Amino acid sequence: MVDVDINVPEHLDMRISQLVDDGEFVDRNEAVEELLATGIKAYKTAGPQSEMETDTEFEDDMMGHEDEYVF
């Protein structure tokens, strides 16, 4: 196995710690390995989405709704 050093935002670090504390994973190494593998599988299935596509979809949903929140 290859060792990899990564930097993650604090909120992700806290979430990984919580998953380990909750017993979802044996330790942090297992958690990170499994979460990365799952993310890569999901990415390959769904494919990349550009920021433009996401922003456009959101803007289309909000059109005609000034000062209103639409969920």
In a domain, 23, yes or no: yes
**Residue 71 domain-assigned?**
no
27 domain residue, yes or no: yes
Owning domain of residue 14:
10-62
4: in domain: no
Separation CA 9–CA 69 (nearest Å): 29
In a domain, 1, yes or no: no
Residue 69 lies in a domain: no
13-43 residue pLDDT tens: 999 999 999 999 999 999 999 999 999 999 8
Could you tell me where the DSSP H helices lie in the chain?
A: 10-21, 28-46, 51-62
26 found inside a domain? yes
Q: Are 20 and 31 in contact (CB under 8 A)?
A: yes
Per-residue pLDDT tens over the stretch 41-52: 998 888 766 655
What is the tally of structural domains in the chain? 1
Is residue 31 within 8 Å of residue 24, measured between CB atoms? yes
